[in-house]
Amino acid sequence: MADYKNFTVETDADGIALVTWDMPDRSMNVFTEQVMSELDSIVDQVTADVAVKGAVITSGKETFSGGADLAMLQKMLGLFQKENSRDPDHAIRLLFDNVGRMGQLFRKLETCGKPWVSAINGTCMGGAFEMSLACHGRIAADSDAVKMALPEVKVGIFPGAGGTQRVPRLTDQQQALQMLTSGQNLTPQRAKAMGLIHEIAEPKKLVAAAKAMIKGGLKPVQPWDEKGFKLPGGPIYSAAGANLWPPAIAILRRETYGNYPAASAILKCVYEGLLVPFDTGLKIEQRYFTEILRTKEAAMMIRSLFVSLQELNKGARRPEGVPPTKFRKIGIIGAGFMGAGIAYVTAKAGIPVVLIDRDMEAAEKGKAHSDKLVSEQIKKGRAKAEDKERLLSLITPSADYADLAGSDLVIEAVFEDSEVKKATTEKAEAALKPSSVFASNTSTIPITSLAKNSARPKNFVGIHFFSPVDKMMLVEIILGKKTGEKALAVAIDYVRAIKKTPIVVNDTRGFYVNRCVLRYMSEAFKMLIEGVPAAMIENAARAAGMPVGPLALTDETAIDLAQKIMKQTIRDLGEKAVDPEQMKLIDTMVDTHGRFGRKNGKGFYDYPEKPAKKHLWPGLKDLYKQRNPDKIDYEELKQRFLTVIALEAARVMEEGIVTDPREADVGSILAFGFAPYTGGALSYIDGIGAKEFVRIAKTLRKKYGAEFKAPKLLLDMVEKGETFYQRFDPYAKEEAKKAA
């Protein structure tokens, strides 16, 4: 057989071809144009060679494949946009043909007349799982490392290479819709129970088991290509279908508020596709995929949640020329909720941790937090007893600062008190080698002021985690005025080591995320004061795309904390820095009614004992005269939330606090869930267009005040016809280097 760059093909004595996918220039296999061309040729050769009885396809890497390279989709869209300006009809036909290529390849594979078996040895995502579904046999290794999914909906598209047609023909429609619209990961056991794979094998015997399927007489015909095929869950027009589809549509609407066109397209593909022959179903899927790929939501989500996210995770903002850090030991000072959480994620990454607190009892309590978290993972089947033992062995509780000696990085997570932090910094630096980096997990105190307590401000940096640390994927790295490149590089290396996403922020009050979040909460307080019913506020925020309503979010972070922040802001910036009516509202909640938030079971919501669910506190309607909901512009409420946050993100860019639009967008989504379908706070503005966004902001400013004032940056962008990604091109430096 021919030589290939990305595959090797070896035929054994039984006439079974082993096709091993192993891209030499990638850490993970992905579908590119070249990969598809090579696989096309391999299918032809397997089909034409009479000596070959069938083929097994597997990966030469630890993972099977991450699916399609979305950069390929971006290239397709670039071609479409170029052609669209000349000949719109031809451009759509070209895009339709291009997006159908992968689906046609998989259809060719499954109708080639010889059996194919996919031997899944690790993560198998997106297009790779669609290819596996096109194989006549599917077998997965019995390993925790094996995860299968069709996660495209998470980046604004959907499985467009046959996934919406094969999944509901292999399993019942309810399970198919749940899997396709959520992008959920499947274990081998779950996938087998759903009928999506046939067997589970020991990892070392995976290929042998796959070959045995072919030798056992595996039919080279898919069930849907055989006469008399019946859908596993029954036809669309049946009693089961009547019970499924109306609620499925309603549930999707409830969960997405119509903000995600790709999720709606999945339902249409499945519903329409199951009413027609399989090949027609593929055409329906291809039509909808072409339509979705042209949406603003797909373009923005692919850019932020795939391309930008990957680039940041790979260290796009890491300074060049600084050697990578190999962490041998990390010190954490403060074993409270945040410090204990940081210790857990550090140990989970396999890095030894010294957890310091005022006494051994407090330090041990901090370690117990890790014990609790990993024990919960064991109960859910996501970890094993040996994982717990290994993780806990990496955490050393201590009350002695001398035990920090030898740490590559020390993170303080003590009380938000400048004097306490000053004493902590001095004690820690006395025990550290000069090259060690010291980081503060402060969420409110400027890093530059804290660095004044350090004998080596170049090695002082902010590493701001979000709560709960084990679940929140974003970390803000804050640069003080004297923070050096080595400290930044070490901080980024650490955040990457614990498998979180770093964004780099220059020093300011509230940094980036908290400034935006406080605007979100503040707008909700204004609405309450205006007499907008609380339920309407929360529902409007969720309908706008926010995962948590602003009042619920305030409860989670604590209303008394909001009170402290407001009082501190007044002390630092004067009375005018805080709206007196909002201060009065928060004082009333905390001081008059003793409502601190979820932590004491009383906030904007009441938190009864389980299994009862939280509900809005009825007393809210007595605080202000309630307006008639029918006379409130619901769409305007939604617009106010998104606009006020996006304006703050624009101000942050204007002030140079964040300098890379990728970080502003990814940070806004990962930290507080800014409407993911928009691609993030700046992409929201770019998607609307700066001119239209400024018009909206001016209208809202006239009605609701100065927080809707557009910064000069936006006005300048309107004048020049720019977007944020043009004005702050994150790739300009790279392109300049290439040109040089």
Ordered strands of the 16-21 beta sheet: 7-11, 16-21, 54-59, 116-120, 137-141, 199-201
| DSSP three-state, residue 275 | coil
Per DSSP, 186 falls in state: B
Per DSSP, 217 falls in state: T
Position 687, amino acid? G
Say which residues have a Cβ less than 8 Å from residue 163's Cβ, sequence separation at least 6: 129, 130, 133, 150, 152, 180
90 catalytically annotated = no
| From 38, 297, 476, 663, active-site residue | 476
How many Cβ atoms sit within 10 Å of the Cβ of residue 557?
Answer: 20
Say which residues have a Cβ less than 8 Å from residue 436's Cβ, sequence separation at least 6: 407, 408, 409, 410, 459
| DSSP three-state, residue 457 | helix
Token pair listed for 236:
């669309």
Pairwise CA distance, residues 586 & 568, whole Å: 14
Instruction: Report whether 325 contacts 496 (CB < 8 A).
Output: no
454 catalytically annotated = no
Instruction: Report whether 166 contacts 197 (CB < 8 A).
Output: no
Residues forming a β-bridge with 118: 57, 138
Is-cis flag, bond preceding 611, omega within 30? yes
| From 98, 443, 453, 506, active-site residue | 443
615 catalytically annotated = no
Instruction: Report whether 636 contacts 532 (CB < 8 A).
Output: no
Residues forming a β-bridge with 354: 331, 396
Pairwise CA distance, residues 550 & 540, whole Å: 10
136 catalytically annotated = no
Instruction: Report whether 266 contacts 177 (CB < 8 A).
Output: yes
Q: Mind giving me the DSSP string for 3-38?
A: --SSEEEEE-TTSEEEEEE--TT-SS--B-HHHHHH
Where would I find the beta strands (DSSP E) of 580-707? 605-606, 615-616
Token pair listed for 672:
């507080």
| From 136, 198, 369, 464, active-site residue | 464
Pairwise CA distance, residues 149 & 581, whole Å: 49
Buried b (16+ CB within 10 A) or exposed e, 285-306: bbbbbbbbbbbbbbbbbbbbbb
Whose CA is closest to 682, among 672, 674, 671? 674
Q: Mind giving me the DSSP string for 589-616?
A: IIIIT---BGGGTBSSEE-PSTTSPPEE
| From 121, 143, 453, 514, active-site residue | 514
Phi, psi at 504, each rounded to 5°: -105, 130
Active site residues: 443, 464, 476, 514
